[in-house]
Structure 1
Amino acid sequence: MSRFSATTTGPEVVNAFREQVNGKTFAITGPSAKSLGAETAIALAAANPKQIILLGRSESKIKPVMEQINGINPTVDVRFYQLDLADLDSVRSAAEKINAGIDKIDVLINYAGIMAVKDFETSKEGIEIHLAANHIGHFLLTNLLMPKLEAASPGARIINVSSIGYMLSEFRFDDWNFQDGKSYIPWLGYAQSKTANIHFTVGLAARLKKKGIYSFSLHPGLIYGTNLGVHLDEESLKVLTEIALERGFPTLEDQRPKSSSEGCATALVAALDDSLEGKSGAYLSDCVIDNPREYARDSDNAEKLWLLSEELIGQKFSY
């Protein structure tokens, strides 16, 4: 039986794996104040990492997190890099600066995300905004940072934060852009991007096995009070319940909310737990390995998404 559960907190996980944190470099997307990315970075600081790399759109929203980390452990080298995941030029610029500025990345945690954006939007490249920000940006960033992950191998890890919301929709390979908005449903846009996070993890695990780089995806839990819920309103939640019941997906009433400290614990288990070695590609929930629905873990779907992602960014990656 796992020593961790739904009520485990981030600091408890870090305390259990202090040796896995000591002297390591962690890169985290989406670490603005009051986010799970921030909670994760703050928890890690107590175990003496070498570097914590924070990537986000606004330095002003991340500066309080950097200050808190410095207050916990002033020896940690904390760095901010500006990154807009819905802008591929921004992703390339951030990756170039990171590759030039650091030696290695032991763990990359792709946290940043948006949810249930009410009106149809696209990135400047014309990609539906959930898919652009939650998957495509991370796909490009992760692959561009691969040399730094390879420098930390064997044992480097890539963590893609998905959601139980993936159950609301398969990846829409025949209409990933919702007929350019004509058939757009916010929750399906979000759900497809969360399914993409799992597909991406499966694809990475297959490609990187020989390099000794592991990849995991996860559901952090139902957490209120983070920036992820900024677009939610009564009508949006009503639609969510309708789709959830139709898909056999747990409604909000069926889930126990977690604190932010509990919410970051599963990502930290994925990043640090040495018992996960040899289980690359796994999906975790409540700090243990879980089985996502078959379509999400399907290797053919993972390959199709990899090829589509390369097409959308106009760049191929071979390993």
Structure 2
Amino acid sequence: MPTFDETATSEQVIEAFAPQIKGRTFIITGAGKPSIGSQIATSLARGSPAHILIASRTANKVEPVLKDIAEIDSSIKTTFVQVDLTDHDSVRRAAKDILAAAPKIDVLINSAGNMAIKEYTTDKQGIEIQLSANYVGHFLLTNLLVPALQAAGGARVVNLTSSGYMITPFRFDDWNYSDGKTYDHWTGYGQAKTANVLFAYGLTKRLESLGVTSTATHPGYNNDTQLGSHLTWDDYGEIPAIMKRNTGVDWEWETPRSKTYTQIAATSLIAALDPEIPEKSPAYLMNSQIHEPAEYAKDPENADKLWELSEKLVGQKFEY
């Protein structure tokens, strides 16, 4: 298999793993344009998949992506399913629509999310909005889609996380920030991204016997998407002090500090397509390679505690 590094592009990954795309079904959340998810979708289109389904909140942001896919290969079936991941009723409706449109799912890429929401905000269920959008909604959606993942045989779930998970462990004793009293925007982001990593470990543990494995991927930094459009450089400058307070560890900016639009999707595409990844899962990938995450983000006890909490938050148990 080819070896990639931090400079890898979507085009290189698609060329290397084209046989893993042809004729398969891919579900991507949050792939409105411009986003990492949209770059993943249009990259996959170059490998002749059977079906690309995008589950996202805003139709008019997805329409340009579906148009791009059609221009690349008009034979690909495309589907849009509206979903608000912060509304569990919406997630349940969307899961039914997705299962109807895609009874077999080869790869589910949980790409939707938000970042560093400055004001403490909760979703419809009372859950802090970053934890809700980045993790809890995906926990519910993924589990509801397990029948289609199992039906595909050898399916994968890719959870987009961030190196921002290093800002904080999951705050089991105060995950909802005492109704905002203990909230800061970067700790909120870090906790949500730690949850994404733990979810990959918890999900693989439960579904591996059913032929489903999971990874968490850090795409890298990019300034072309809308994720951080509300933030200034001064906001990013707050990260080191907050991480030091939460973990006692110094923050280090990784290299490269910024990836191009086509590079930003490469690591997640590797997780979705590289034939060697399932046997190495659960795993955390960054800069196109598997890395060991911090102990708190892979600890089996933490993964189980998060699973139990998540079941309470969505009001449903998932046992396999």
TM range (shorter): over 0.9
Superimposed CA distance per residue, residues 132-161 of structure 1 (whole angstroms, 9 cap, x where no aligned partner): 1100000000000111101101x1000001
Distance 2:235 2:149 in 1: 39
Task: Specify the alignment match of 1:158 in structure 2.
Answer: 157
Task: Specify the alignment match of 2:207 in structure 1.
Answer: 208
Contact 1:245 1:251 in 2 (8 A): no
Distance 2:316 2:211 in 1: 24
Superimposed CA distance per residue, residues 103-131 of structure 1 (whole angstroms, 9 cap, x where no aligned partner): 21100000111000010000010000001
Task: Specify the alignment match of 2:280 in structure 1.
Answer: 279
| Helix, strand or coil at the partner of 2:118 | coil
Distance 1:3 1:237 in 2: 32
Task: Specify the alignment match of 2:117 in structure 1.
Answer: 117
| Helix, strand or coil at the partner of 1:274 | coil
Distance 2:106 2:149 in 1: 6
| Helix, strand or coil at the partner of 2:305 | helix
Contact 1:49 1:76 in 2 (8 A): yes
Task: Specify the alignment match of 2:41 in structure 1.
Answer: 41
**Structure 2 residue 97 is the aligned partner of structure 1 residue 108:** no
Letter in 1 for 2:296: Y
> Structure 2 length normalisation: TM-score?
0.96
Task: Specify the alignment match of 2:167 in structure 1.
Answer: 168
Tell me whether 235-244 or 144-153 shows the greater mean CA deviation: 235-244
Contact 1:199 1:297 in 2 (8 A): yes
Spell out the pairing of 1:34-73 with structure 2 (5 A cutoff). Answer: 34-73=34-73
Letter in 1 for 2:73: N
Tell me whether 283-292 or 94-103 shows the greater mean CA deviation: 94-103
Letter in 2 for 1:211: L
Distance 2:307 2:185 in 1: 23
Task: Specify the alignment match of 1:317 in structure 2.
Answer: 318
Contact 2:219 2:266 in 1 (8 A): yes
Task: Specify the alignment match of 1:249 in structure 2.
Answer: 251
Spell out the pairing of 1:71-220 with structure 2 (5 A cutoff). Answer: 71-153=71-153, 155-220=154-219
Distance 2:304 2:203 in 1: 10
Spell out the pairing of 1:5-20 with structure 2 (5 A cutoff). Answer: 5-20=5-20
Letter in 1 for 2:318: F
Distance 2:100 2:41 in 1: 22
Q: RMSD across aligned C-alpha pairs, in angstroms?
A: 1.3
> In 2 relative to 1, CA 9–255 (structure 1 residues): closer, same or farther, beyond 3 Å?
closer
| Helix, strand or coil at the partner of 1:264 | helix
**TM-aligned CA deviation for residue 231 of structure 1:** 2.6
Any runs of at least 4 consecutive aligned residues in structure 1 with deviations exceeding 6 A, and if so which? none
**TM-aligned CA deviation for residue 244 of structure 1:** 4.4
| Helix, strand or coil at the partner of 1:278 | helix
Contact 2:219 2:264 in 1 (8 A): yes
> Structure 1 length normalisation: TM-score?
0.97
Unaligned 5+ segments in structure 2 are: none
Distance 1:224 1:239 in 2: 18
Letter in 2 for 1:212: G
Unaligned 5+ segments in structure 1 are: none
Letter in 2 for 1:256: R
Distance 2:229 2:120 in 1: 16
Contact 1:5 1:287 in 2 (8 A): yes
Distance 2:209 2:37 in 1: 29
| Helix, strand or coil at the partner of 1:55 | strand
Superimposed CA distance per residue, residues 211-241 of structure 1 (whole angstroms, 9 cap, x where no aligned partner): 1111010111111121110231244223224
Letter in 1 for 2:260: S
Distance 2:213 2:14 in 1: 19
Contact 1:6 1:287 in 2 (8 A): yes
Contact 1:18 1:47 in 2 (8 A): yes
Amino-acid identity (%)? 48
| Helix, strand or coil at the partner of 2:81 | strand
Superimposed CA distance per residue, residues 247-273 of structure 1 (whole angstroms, 9 cap, x where no aligned partner): 322237x64210121110000000000
Residues matched between the structures, number: 317
Distance 2:68 2:256 in 1: 31
**TM-aligned CA deviation for residue 276 of structure 1:** 1.4
